[in-house]
Structure formats: structure tokens, C-alpha cells
Structure 1
């Protein structure tokens, strides 16, 4: 107590709890974060942090208690979620230190354990892609599925795609294309600099987008006064932006029409994985695939899509054949 007094810790706040520190951080420590990030932090804290440690006195909190808490959560949560929880608690305690409510931060002494292994991503086979492009024609998400499979755009890029960035006619030798310049991230910008790319549209995608424009006009007439103009290519029936849940439900509904596919076993991002897999099967070089999907380099493509890529490294074999290859007689 004497040491804490000398360090300026407020003894009157001896019963300041972990819960109070976390709530203070959630309410006042995230001023620059967007609303979605704040909601994520708050949801994780209220579900997994406060029920376990919320009533504990902050000054009495130990590294052992934090390790035990994270170990309890590890079998059911991913490593990324555990890192978020650890970070939330760490920043809460640091904020309390800055206000002289605790003398040290024991959270920094604790390492984050490995969490539950996530479901590995997968891709549709070329036959399944062909079926999805055809059989889902009657579903309102058909255009979204076709454009995702044929261009490899990210699901957040697809949801943010605007008609002003879609060009369906060839002009001055420039083929039909779409400008993937913006996505639904904080500030509206793309994920990386190389994510800003202009992609030529296959003929099938052009036709589907023409039909999508007609369908949207029909939706506008049907909605009447309820229509909310957003300028987006893919919208709800009243013109508003689609969120990730809208797309996920719509994809499962559409894939239920395809024989041999369990619709509940697929997510929108795996349409992009399928695009990469089809190109790799067709022998497209890794560098070109990386450019098409908007990665900063081939290393990112290999890391994210290592299960979809099937590269055959031929350089060594080519050189060795030139130096030591067999002749026509087989010698």
C-alpha cells in the first residue's frame, strides 16, 4: 500500500474491477474505430471476458488467472478471437494504468494460446462451377454468383460494387470491364493498393449484369415509395445495401438448387477460392492469378490459397533436360 501510494495509485479505488476497466475502454478508448469494430469488441467482451473476470478487483488480477481464462476458452474459440480478447483486456488495463488505477499490467505477461482450428476453405470443382453458373439462374443472387465465380472479386468488393464502375459496352477498343476500386472497409477504400484493379468482364458476366439491371428496375417499380436508391449493383428488394448475412443466406438458398452440393457447407468467400482453383487447373501462372485477385504479391496468394493452387515448378526440369536430356535414341 505504501509503494502504491508512492507511485500515485489511488487507494480510494482499491475495489476498481476488471469489468469497470473494460467498460471504460469500450466506451471511451475506441474513438477512432468504426462502428462495426466497436460492436465486435463489445460483443466479445460481454460474451467471453466480463462473465469470467468482470468482478475481479483489477489490482488483484494475476497472470495465472488470465492464463486459466484463455485456456478455458481455447477449445471453443479461434486463435484470432483469443487475440482480440487478450488485446481488449490488455488495452483496458493500460488505460487504467494511465489513470493511476493500477500500478502494473499483468496482461502483457501472458501469451495467447492456440485456439480451435478453423474450417479449412475449399473450392468448387469446374463441374460444380458450371452447374452453379447455370442452375442458379432463377435465383435473385444469380448475378452475384456469376460475377464472383468469373472475376474472383472479394465478397466485400461485390457488395460495394456500383453501376458507375461497371461498363458493359466496348468503347474505343476497351472491352467491357468493371473497376474494383472501392470496398466496404473503414473509409470506403480498398484492402490494399493493388486491390484497386480494373477487370475485363467475360461475355457471360456482361449478359448477366444486363439482366441484373433489368431486374433491379423491376424491383424499383415493385417497391414504389419504399425504394431507396443506393447506386449499388447488388441490393435488397428495396434497393438497400446487402450485408454479409444477406449474401450468406442468399448463397445457400441458390446453391440448394445445385445437385450434389450441400448449401450449408459453403460461404461467399469460397466463390473467390473457386475462381483461383479453376484458373490454377487451367494452367494460369501464379503471377497472373495474383494480379487478378488483387494481392500485393504471389507470396500472399500462395499463403491464402495454398490448397487451391496446383503449381508445377518446371524450371529445374527444363534446365536439366537441356544439359543432360536424353537424345532421340534414348541415351
Structure 2
């Protein structure tokens, strides 16, 4: 009984203090779920549809099921710490950072509307999550097997351009025929767009024009012939967006459809389909160029990086930097007796 009285007295003092500080919360029934849903509905104006979808999925899968029913005024930093620590067992550090960011933004919006007096999510550190699956690259034999397996499929030209040009998957999905020059000297493509919001490439340096290897030219010519056949078959259903890579009715490919088709190719190449993703063709491009002795500076320009340090950071496992100058000079100075 004494404990109940003490707790009640403590709560009363907190309410009085909040009232005196003009911080009394107006909506004590407002939950964490209410806050994040309000943010999703009204706080993402101007954001890309992909980002909105991602935030919605993360919220519905990881925040609302665990914290959603709790009243926002009762949410503590300890609650958030425990939630993040539990999620760290199965999620990457990057995903944990995104989850905390969503919660911080949602609570900040609620705080600005007098639903809660402070943002406890700001008091919480992001724990280290699970290590993500490391990216890897195909060997030359594996790359040849994938190229061979893709022949005769709708993804053939896509695979060829990914492996032989190192273009990002979001760049290829946005590639238009108006940016393809198969008759030029040399033949080339202009990698000027992506499926990112606004159609911009990842960075300004990513906007580049690439000469086409002969194998890419042949694949694109064959792909254009097959697309013409698909247009005639679709008739009035065809949506002409000038896109190089499309569905059977001319609409843009999404990431899921590319992954699905790529896995079919991998199975034909006798590779484990779950071990590889389309973006690792770009990693393979870097690795194969590095193995053949192409300088890092050239590789960096080809993949559209700001500088070589970005290339070294992103593709450190694919690059084989060998400093030969010193060894070669010493062999000349001190020849083997």
C-alpha cells in the first residue's frame, strides 16, 4: 500500500512539473502506432515512392508489431534500447539505423503537435547489427557460363551489358534507345538516367558515356529485333516508353522481375541462384578488369565513381592492387645472380 502511494505521489509530481513547464501532454491515449502512421501519411511529402514504400514496410514489419500498442507518453529510452537490441540479432546495422530514423522522425512530429513532451528515441544509440552478406564476383569461367546461359532469354542483353560494361541495375532498367548508338564510331551508350527519383544517376560522375564492346553491340541488335516482335505481338497493348529493357507490353522492369529472371539464368549456368544477385555482375566487371591489369583510375571512371577511393572502398575485395614499380626497379638494380 505504501509503495502504491509512493508511486502515485511520484506520478502526481511529474504531472505538476509538466504543467508548470507548459509541457502537459494533450493526448495521453496517443500510441506509437498512431505516431508512425501519421508520419507515414503526412511527413513524407516530396519523398520518392520507393522510399515511402520502404519506410512503410519497415514500419509495419518492425516497429508497429513491437512498440505500436504502447502509449507514446509511456515510451521510454529503455524500451527503445531493448527493441533495437532485439532487432540487432537479425537485422543489419544499416537497417537498424533506418528503423531508428523512422522512429525519431515520427516522435519528433508528434512532439511538435503536443502529443508527447520529449523524443526518447534520440537518447538511444544504434547497436551493431548482423553482418550483411558480403558481395562477391564471378570468376572468368563463371562469367562465361552466365553469358552462355543467358543466350536465348529475354535477359541476355541485360546480362551482357551488366558484365561487360559494369552498369548499375537501376541504370540499365532506365536505359532508352535514344541513348544507344549502335552505328557510331565507336558504338556507345549514354548512361545518363536511372530509376531513382527524378531519373538522376546516383552521382554526377555516374553520368557517363561508355563505348560498347562488340559483344554488347551484337546483343543489343538481337534484343531490338526481339523487342520489335514483342511490339507486334502486343499490338495496342504495347506501351511505348522507348525503354531498352521492358516487360512483354513495354512497361519498365522492376527489381523483382530482374532478380527472378536472373535466377533462372544462374540455374542454367549450374550456379546456386540464391548465392548471387544482379548487382554482383557489376562487382564481377570490376574484378575481371582488375585481374586483366586495367589501372584503378580507369576502372573508377568506367563504373562512374567520384574518385578512386570510392572504388577502393566499395570494391576492395574485387580489386587486386599490385604495386610493381618498386619490384621491377630493384630487379634492374640488383639482378638475380
Deviates more, 1:209-218 or 1:91-100: 91-100
The alpha carbon displacement at 1:198 in A equals: 0.4
Whole-angstrom CA distance in 2 between matches of 1:51 and 1:132: 42
The alpha carbon displacement at 1:139 in A equals: 1.2
Instruction: Name 2:157's counterpart in structure 1.
Output: 143
Deviates more, 1:68-77 or 1:193-202: 68-77
| Residue 46, structure 1, aligned to residue 60, structure 2 | yes
Instruction: Name 2:215's counterpart in structure 1.
Output: 204
TM-score (norm 2): 0.92
Whole-angstrom CA distance in 1 between matches of 2:308 and 2:130: 28
Whole-angstrom CA distance in 2 between matches of 1:321 and 1:39: 59
Instruction: Name 2:109's counterpart in structure 1.
Output: 95
Whole-angstrom CA distance in 1 between matches of 2:335 and 2:129: 56
Instruction: Name 1:307's counterpart in structure 2.
Output: 317
- Is the CA contact (8 Å cut-off) linking 1:7 and 1:103 kept in structure 2? no
Whole-angstrom CA distance in 2 between matches of 1:327 and 1:270: 43
Instruction: Name 1:296's counterpart in structure 2.
Output: 306
Gaps of 5+ in 2: 1-14
Whole-angstrom CA distance in 1 between matches of 2:253 and 2:309: 32
| Residue 326, structure 1, aligned to residue 337, structure 2 | no
Instruction: Name 1:283's counterpart in structure 2.
Output: 293
SS in 2 for 1:13: coil
The alpha carbon displacement at 1:311 in A equals: 0.9
Matches within 5 A, 1:77-116: 77-116=91-130
Whole-angstrom CA distance in 2 between matches of 1:291 and 1:67: 43
Instruction: Name 2:79's counterpart in structure 1.
Output: 65
The alpha carbon displacement at 1:96 in A equals: 1.5
- Is the CA contact (8 Å cut-off) linking 1:223 and 1:238 kept in structure 2? yes
Matches within 5 A, 1:1-331: 1-170=15-184, 174-259=185-270, 261-318=271-328, 325-327=333-335, 330=337
Deviates more, 1:160-169 or 1:100-109: 100-109
- Is the CA contact (8 Å cut-off) linking 1:168 and 1:176 kept in structure 2? yes
TM-score (norm 1): 0.94
Deviates more, 1:16-25 or 1:196-205: 16-25
How has the CA–CA distance of structure 1 residues 38 and 88 changed in structure 2, closer, same or farther, with 3 Å as cutoff?
A: same
SS in 2 for 1:178: strand
Whole-angstrom CA distance in 1 between matches of 2:68 and 2:39: 13
The alpha carbon displacement at 1:223 in A equals: 1.2
- Is the CA contact (8 Å cut-off) linking 1:290 and 1:301 kept in structure 2? yes
